Structure 1
Amino acid sequence: MGKNIITSWIDLQNELLCLKINSMYYKKVEAGRSIYYVFHPKFYPFLLLRLFVVFLNFFRFNSLLYQPYKIRSQKTFFSNQIKSSFLKNSFEFFFIFAGLRHFVKPSYEADYYNQRIKDVDLSFSKTDKPIVSIIIPVFNQVEYTRTCLKSIALNVSKKYEFEVIVIDDCSTDQTSEIIASLHGIVYKRNSENMGFLLSCVRGIEVSKGKYICLLNNDTIVLNNWLESLVETIEDDPNVGCVGSKLIYPYGLLQEAGGIIYSDGSGVNYGKYQNINYSKYNYKRNVDYCSGASLLFKKEDYTTIGGLDKRFEPAYYEDTDLCFSFRHLLGKEVVYQPLSTVVHFEGVSSGKRAKKGNIKSYQDINRIKFVEKWTSVLTESFAKCNVDIAAKKYLSTKKIMIVDSYLPIYDRESGSNRLFNLLKIFKNLGYHLIFIPHDSKIIEPYYSMLTSKMGIEVITKERGKFSFIQVLKTISKETNILWICRPNLNKKYNFLTRYNAKTKWIYDTIDLHYIRLLREFKLFPKKKLGRKINRIKRLEISLAKRADYTIAITTIEAETLASEGVKNIEIIPNIHVPYQGKKLPSFSNRENVCFIGGYNHKPNVDAALWLINEIMPLVWKINPRIKLYLLGNKPSPALLAYANENIIIPGFIEDVSEYFLTCKIFVAPLRYGAGMKGKIGQSLEYALPIITTDIGAEGMALTHNENILIANNAEDFANNILNLYENEFLWDKISKNSKQELSNYEPQKIEQLLAKIFN
């Protein structure tokens, strides 16, 4: 067992142990137990294990592991509960080592915002035409309100103009003096105490924004809180309202969307769980989202008649509002995990219902809610397992997709193809479960799948055994198991055992053994020769066993058929024509470019062939032509070639500028297999291409019509020099490129997939 495996195992056990201790402790403390509950005997075995893990970490000699202890030891959470300074610090020290501060981050605390924004510097820009009106009803608790406002000032960008409206419900502390004096705040004080609901109504009445965002004052909004809410509702006209992920200040999950049962009782999905667990981290439809952070269109709010005043003074008004958006307007209620809010909960109203307090209205208004929505609640809200209830709005058609890692769609061709396939699967009405074999959460790709597209991404977050159990459970309801690459098909095809109706689809990406065989012809090595035979046997065996085998090109489909494989379908790369400004003409372009991920050996070979053999022949005739080697992860060895004529910029998020300004795209691929995404990418921009037979493989392109083909350095150089000066030929190939691309547009691929799936 390697060192990294051991340390990863220690970290995982520490995470699971801390979650257990935190969940046990805070669940009881929130219900009214003393802060000293951690000394109950039931904690002893867990605390001993935790201290053992801490002991192990101190022997790993990694200063980063000690940092949380150092930071936390300088603070205390017990300013109000414990008088003695010595006891306070001792108790905090114990909490740190017990793991009860494990999930806390600095941005969850008021100090973080006080250090960055002084009280006198807190202000907001005034705007006459806000996109969003943030409405914050308050009753006392001015320090919470000020922290909330500081978090808005610090964490909300200028992408969407907003106004902040504070409705003061007759506070008796310093709220009126402090908040009313802040620049840029719309402050309104009620003439009498009206309660939360009517304060919200008043705030909405005076608002100017297209969107209303209700926000509790006992909250801290985190980075991208507002932007992700607005983007969600703007991206889909079917969304009626969208709510945030709520977390406790001690770092556990408070709510990942709400569940309502037929008796009107509610459940905060994921309460006291790890905020990073995958089942709480993808966009989905829910019964309701808490009014602690909820965004909706003001126009829709007016259409449904606003907040129902039968739920005065508070509780169930947000649930009723969400039900109205869904059942009166026919719109969706969406949970958006990218929007995260720390919610202290119960600061104004208390955490437990007592006779006469505001919290007591929770039970009173539940009865009113049931009376109003009886016909809806009896349909599909029977009590059941919370994980099942949380997924009631998901499609019953499910696809599980397995690949080596998340689709890094702007960095490599295979990932771009898969990313486009995911979009098509969604269009076909499936719920998608994506399994990245490496379990790595890579941004922005993870958020694109989960929070933008609503794809459930499953990782080994709780260890390998738990991971396998989760996959087995999901497999029982999976219609299609789409597995990429031969090695992953070998590992994951066992999942078909749990549902006889599941279709197993083996997506080859390309025929690996053909790529290796071509590499062997250029660089013959005995070890590579043995690997080719092993990979070929595996690929053919898997293709014969799978319900469907996906080839990328006609050539590879014919190769598989010749080996006795049946049920072959061709799903090529997917490309969309460039939709931007008018394409520059021949005379407004210069230089040549190549693109590829340099962790893929055929791309490295192509780049070196260009540098060492092809371009020197070009530069003898035209030394002014520059070569741009675009793409991800160029090695230090490749970067060493960079000079005034060879530009190697590394990864660039948007490469369109190069495809719009370069005169020629070159792809001197000497080995490889499948369809080359870089060729399709150039066709998208109608940029004339010079490549090899292997580069053009599988795309039915014709030399001198829609592409130029050259298979040795001299011919390649001559084609570059000729096309660089020949405007007639350049225009002809550019024009024909646009026509060729139509075979690879999403609509055609969607038709093919619908046929396979049905």
Structure 2
Amino acid sequence: MALPAAELLRSQGENHPAWAAFDPVWYIATYPEANLSCGGDPSLALEYYLRAGCRLGHSPSPLFDERYYLDQHLDIAALVRAGQYRSGFDHYCQFGHRGASPHWLFDDGLYARLYEDMTLENLDAHHCAGRYDHWLKSGQREARIGHFMFDPQYYRARVLESGAPDAQFEQRGPFVDYLYSLYRPGPELPCSPYFAPYFAPDYYIATHESVKPVMACGRVRNALHHYQLIGEAEGFDPVPEYSEAYYRDAYPDIAAAIDAGHFTSGYRHFVQYGAFELRRPRADIDLLYYRDMNPRVRDDLNAGRVRDAFAHLRTIGLKEKLPYCPPERVPEISEAAAKQLFELKARNQIALFARQRLDFTLSGPPALSVVMVLFNKFELTLLALASLRNNYAGAIELIIVDNASTDDTRRLETYVRGAVLIHSKENLGFLRACNLALDAVSSPSLLYLNNDIELGYGAIAAALARLASAPTIGAVGGKIIRTHGRLQEAGSIIWSDGSTIGYLRDASALAPEANFVRDVDYCSGVFLLCRADLVKRLGGFDEGFKPAYYEEVDLCVRMIEAGFRIVYDPDVVVHHLEFGSASNTEASMALMRRGRRIFKRKHAAFLRTRLDCAAENIIKARARDGAGRRVLFLEDTVPVRRLGSGFVRANDAVRAIAAAGWRVSVLPINGARHDIMSLFGDLPDTVEVLHDQTILTLPNLLREREGFFDLIWVSRTHNLDRTRAIFEEAGIDPARTPFVLDTEAIEAARDAAAAALDPAKAGFDLPAALAQEFRNAGDCRHVTAVNQAEVDLLRGIGISPVSVLGTIRDPDPTPRDFADREGLLFIASIHQTDSPNFDSLRWYRDEILPELIALMGTPPVLTFIGYTAPDIDLAELADNPFIMVRGSVDDIRPAYDRHRLFIAPTRYAAGTPYKVYETASHGLPCVATALLADQLGWAPGVEIASVPVGDAKGFAAAIARLYHDEAAWQAMRSAALARLEAENSRATFDATVRMILEQKPRATAKRRARLRAVG
């Protein structure tokens, strides 16, 4: 039924479209100007609407949203302005009802995809004026879905729960009733299991501060309306169980699809597809685990009682507390039970040593001397010695003192060969026995080792390597894990009153705080690797502490006073049966109290330098090194090198800060989605990787570590914007705790370059865009950019000081000769359709390649290698005989060795082109646009061949010239390698970072004022 709005609204009859309705009472109540003109008389409302209201953007009823329709269809809005249609509703009446969505809560395309009978031909046959007409007349009552955020069956249930429904509820249907409810006073009822059961509107409003003002001014009717019109496009989270930022970050294919315009938000994809694919809606919600571990979920899904696992979680699982994520660790067992299991393991393998003797026989000088003191506990001793032998294959001088044992320890020689065994006729205690063994030590490294332990993989080698890494290290200790899997200590702290504490006792062994190297007050004698000559020079353990306890604390303090360091190394893992060698725990505690009194008297001067025993002091007391040089490093995620992009450079920045002697704590703003081994293994071992933190936990971290950080290093400008209010709330003043902003890339510069290619974007205001992008940079003591061109841009808007912090790339040229190479190479990633790299390929195909054919006849084939997002279709290049698309490859070095030239026809970009550094490091000359040459600061014709952006003919000529001129090829190859060596070495990069770190503080107020003036 294609008629103008005036005819449809005035007519009625059989098969009249349900959406072609005018509600006069609603109309004059909604639009004050209509009420005033009609004198409050609803009978005059329709004529007013047709005469004037439709031109004012009014809707004829709640069923059609005029503003939404015009905002979604700008071409139709232009036709309305031109007078071809009276209103958006007029267009919908005549044409739009055949496929356009008339309301923010009805998706015409979704309705067509979900239901096979919703073809226009079938609808015409049944006298329905489009899908929306069907939805209003019957679909909403048939429990069909017309929008991913409205479930009529769910809404009906909520209405019934809230009390007696409106008298017109059944006549209107749940969808129409909901639309009218937006204009009635009262609480907002949830309308979908995906949006607001019980609390989501309140959550949405409370979480997103911009919602309330927009609702107050009447632009939107409620929280859902705001989300549909504004929040979804801006990435707001609609429910607490879903994170838009996480979903986009965890699934790059979805982020690319959103950028390409296929989805308005990740949530829209998730509800339509991702929930069925069991993708994670939030980092800690695993829908696959939820479905597989809960029979109730599987039963309900199979019976069709819920649509998907996420809907089940929202409507049932949370209320019933069904588990939705694997536990971080195995279920806890009591330490008493764990100790019994540890002892049982030792006892169960005792028979092995009857036929498989442990052999410590030396055939040359020992690499390590191990001192172990025994008193009974024969089974535990053999477990410890077997662990020692299996752990380290080098020459071990094993020195054992048996303190008059009464069990099978007396016959230890029968099962252990090559050890120095000292049998004492009396129980000398641990301390005196160790000193007795000291005379027999001949190795440069001495390990004091308990007999109630089991060593983790490579513990001995890791400890020896750490001890040898610096002559100032006097002793090395490790991560001591009790039998039930919780920490005993990760290094230890001495307080000013002489008491001690094992750092992180009872914490997880995988806690970030337990997994970085640092200097400590002391390490437990359970495993203490020392310089043997230092221990002998200090006279071993002080016998004033005999029989045991506090002797290792005293020894470590004497090492520190002698100018040596005590180092905690998390790679040294020791599983310990705590108090396993003691007669009873209370006896051990009594000896500890006695030892503390002696220690306090002996080291009064040292204790005056220590902090008071208080929970808030633990974070500062955990390390002796780093005071005054502690950095909080913020990045989108943990900068693992295999992520590529700017994360390689961020990784190098962390390394440089650590190399400068600063203590770095890395916090991933968006969370860390990588495995523990990648996170810990790709950064220096002195770096604290806060993999369990995000921007959501940053406020709490700053409270717990008040006054701890001496500098904040922010990678990427948007992270400064996102965290600025958090730091202000925490009371962190940039004048006292300086901020460094590493821009990584300037978005305004890239946008300006893209605008220069698009006539529709003429007049792009670069200074204004820069001022907006760097509106918070005035708080920073120093700002870095990746090249001189971007430094100049920042200085131009008043940012100072600002420095170039470039990119590290070591020369590693491929060996093949010029004559043995052929073809052109382009390596890049394409994440979205408006990617600069996709534009480069198209420009090459459409404009450069024809010029190259004209010059060369048969041009060399261009090979494109690189990641392409799933929704990017490169089929348009498939039929071109001179372009070969290979996609991602595991090893790109052979491609660099095989090809003769690299091209980079980039017309817009920001930052610096890492791909050009990479190709130069492999010894392949590059033809690029002047944009990239300027970003690099390289001399055209010397280190790089460059032509102006848009000069396709010049680009082709540069390729042809360099492709055939071996002398020029060799010269450019050598010049680029030399430039890399001079400017992109680690030494240059590290020196810049050190300069920034050591820079004297400057007031930020003047700089903020300058930026405001520019803005």
Equivalent residue, structure 1, for 2:718: 487
- Residue 749 (str. 1) matches residue 992 (str. 2): yes
- Residue 732 (str. 1) matches residue 966 (str. 2): no
SS of equivalent residue, structure 2 residue 974: helix
Aligned AA for 2:610?
S
SS of equivalent residue, structure 1 residue 247: strand
Deviations 1:329-374 (A, max 9, x none): x1211122233222211111245343xxx66443443344344433
Question: Shift in Å at residue 434 of structure 1?
Answer: 2.4
Aligned AA for 2:968?
L
Q: Return the match for 2:916 from 668, 679, 684.
A: 679
- Residue 705 (str. 1) matches residue 942 (str. 2): yes
Equivalent residue, structure 1, for 2:455: 221
The answer as to whether partners of 2:481 and 2:573 remain within 8 angstroms in 1 is: yes
In structure 2, how many angstroms separate the alpha carbons of the residues matched to 1:408 and 1:475? Answer: 28
The answer as to whether partners of 1:404 and 1:438 remain within 8 angstroms in 2 is: yes
Alignment of 1:509-520 (within 5 A): 509-518=744-753
Equivalent residue, structure 2, for 1:506: 741
SS of equivalent residue, structure 2 residue 936: coil
Equivalent residue, structure 1, for 2:620: 388
In structure 2, how many angstroms separate the alpha carbons of the residues matched to 1:135 and 1:599? Answer: 59
193-202 or 395-404, larger mean C-alpha shift: 193-202
Question: Shift in Å at residue 244 of structure 1?
Answer: 0.8
Aligned AA for 2:626?
L
Equivalent residue, structure 2, for 1:374: 604
Gaps of 5+ in 2: 1-238, 244-280, 287-315, 1002-1015
In structure 2, how many angstroms separate the alpha carbons of the residues matched to 1:135 and 1:717? Answer: 74
In structure 2, how many angstroms separate the alpha carbons of the residues matched to 1:747 and 1:464? Answer: 28
Equivalent residue, structure 2, for 1:337: 570
Question: Shift in Å at residue 323 of structure 1?
Answer: 1.7
- Residue 692 (str. 1) matches residue 916 (str. 2): no
- Residue 468 (str. 1) matches residue 699 (str. 2): yes
Question: Shift in Å at residue 306 of structure 1?
Answer: 3.7
- Residue 290 (str. 1) matches residue 543 (str. 2): no
Give me the TM-score of the superposition, normalised by structure 1. Answer: 0.72
**CA RMSD in angstroms, aligned pairs only:** 5.0
Equivalent residue, structure 2, for 1:26: none
Aligned AA for 2:506?
Y
Aligned AA for 1:242?
V
In structure 2, how many angstroms separate the alpha carbons of the residues matched to 1:620 and 1:661? Answer: 22
C-alpha distance 265-521 of structure 1, shift in aligned 2 (>3 A): same
C-alpha distance 470-533 of structure 1, shift in aligned 2 (>3 A): same
Identity among equivalent positions (%) equals 21
Aligned AA for 2:973?
S
SS of equivalent residue, structure 2 residue 775: helix
Question: Shift in Å at residue 396 of structure 1?
Answer: 1.5
Question: Shift in Å at residue 288 of structure 1?
Answer: 0.3
Q: Return the match for 1:271 from 502, 505, 510.
A: 505
Question: Shift in Å at residue 549 of structure 1?
Answer: 3.6
In structure 2, how many angstroms separate the alpha carbons of the residues matched to 1:754 and 1:79? Answer: 47
In structure 1, how many angstroms separate the alpha carbons of the residues matched to 2:871 and 2:540? Answer: 62
In structure 2, how many angstroms separate the alpha carbons of the residues matched to 1:351 and 1:188? Answer: 26
Equivalent residue, structure 1, for 2:81: none
Equivalent residue, structure 1, for 2:379: 143
SS of equivalent residue, structure 1 residue 570: strand
C-alpha distance 392-206 of structure 1, shift in aligned 2 (>3 A): closer
Aligned AA for 2:641?
Y
C-alpha distance 626-274 of structure 1, shift in aligned 2 (>3 A): same
The answer as to whether partners of 1:576 and 1:746 remain within 8 angstroms in 2 is: no
Q: Return the match for 1:245 from 466, 470, 479.
A: 479
C-alpha distance 77-227 of structure 1, shift in aligned 2 (>3 A): same
C-alpha distance 446-302 of structure 1, shift in aligned 2 (>3 A): farther
Question: Shift in Å at residue 573 of structure 1?
Answer: 1.5
Aligned AA for 2:606?
V
In structure 2, how many angstroms separate the alpha carbons of the residues matched to 1:353 and 1:79? Answer: 20
Deviations 1:612-669 (A, max 9, x none): 789998999698x995847x898697999999987666456xx778778876555444
Equivalent residue, structure 1, for 2:312: none
Alignment of 1:2-401 (within 5 A): 3=241, 58=322, 60=324, 68=330, 78=337, 128=364, 131-152=367-388, 156=391, 161=394, 163=396, 165=398, 167-169=400-402, 170-175=404-409, 180-181=414-415, 186=419, 188-192=421-425, 193-201=427-435, 206=440, 209-328=443-562, 330-350=563-583, 352-354=585-587, 360-380=590-610, 382-384=612-614, 385-401=617-633
SS of equivalent residue, structure 1 residue 514: helix
The answer as to whether partners of 1:283 and 1:334 remain within 8 angstroms in 2 is: yes
Deviations 1:274-301 (A, max 9, x none): 4344333332221101111222333443
The answer as to whether partners of 1:540 and 1:565 remain within 8 angstroms in 2 is: no
The answer as to whether partners of 2:864 and 2:887 remain within 8 angstroms in 1 is: yes
In structure 1, how many angstroms separate the alpha carbons of the residues matched to 2:777 and 2:472? Answer: 41
Equivalent residue, structure 2, for 1:37: none
The answer as to whether partners of 2:521 and 2:624 remain within 8 angstroms in 1 is: no
Alignment of 1:625-644 (within 5 A): 629=865
Aligned AA for 1:503?
P
C-alpha distance 383-187 of structure 1, shift in aligned 2 (>3 A): same
In structure 1, how many angstroms separate the alpha carbons of the residues matched to 2:374 and 2:844? Answer: 67
Deviations 1:718-743 (A, max 9, x none): 75676566442233223322442323
In structure 1, how many angstroms separate the alpha carbons of the residues matched to 2:456 and 2:758? Answer: 53
In structure 2, how many angstroms separate the alpha carbons of the residues matched to 1:721 and 1:666? Answer: 12
Q: Return the match for 1:446 from 658, 670, 679.
A: 679
In structure 2, how many angstroms separate the alpha carbons of the residues matched to 1:466 and 1:174? Answer: 54
Give me the TM-score of the superposition, normalised by structure 2. Answer: 0.56
Gaps of 5+ in 1: 12-51, 82-105
Question: Shift in Å at residue 569 of structure 1?
Answer: 0.5
C-alpha distance 608-220 of structure 1, shift in aligned 2 (>3 A): farther
Deviations 1:670-696 (A, max 9, x none): 432112233334455655333333333
Deviations 1:369-405 (A, max 9, x none): 3444333233435544333332454322433221101
The answer as to whether partners of 2:520 and 2:566 remain within 8 angstroms in 1 is: yes
In structure 2, how many angstroms separate the alpha carbons of the residues matched to 1:213 and 1:441? Answer: 38
SS of equivalent residue, structure 1 residue 698: helix
596-605 or 435-444, larger mean C-alpha shift: 596-605
In structure 2, how many angstroms separate the alpha carbons of the residues matched to 1:635 and 1:152? Answer: 51
The answer as to whether partners of 1:345 and 1:351 remain within 8 angstroms in 2 is: no
Equivalent residue, structure 2, for 1:46: none
SS of equivalent residue, structure 1 residue 703: coil
Q: Which has the larger radius of gyration?
A: 2
Deviations 1:524-564 (A, max 9, x none): 999xx9999997664142345655443322322333444x3
Q: Which has the higher contact order (CA 8 A, sep 6+)?
A: 1
SS of equivalent residue, structure 2 residue 784: strand
C-alpha distance 570-202 of structure 1, shift in aligned 2 (>3 A): same
Alignment of 1:427-446 (within 5 A): 427-440=659-672, 442=674, 443-444=676-677, 446=679
In structure 2, how many angstroms separate the alpha carbons of the residues matched to 1:179 and 1:124? Answer: 10
Alignment length, in residue pairs?
669
SS of equivalent residue, structure 1 residue 380: coil
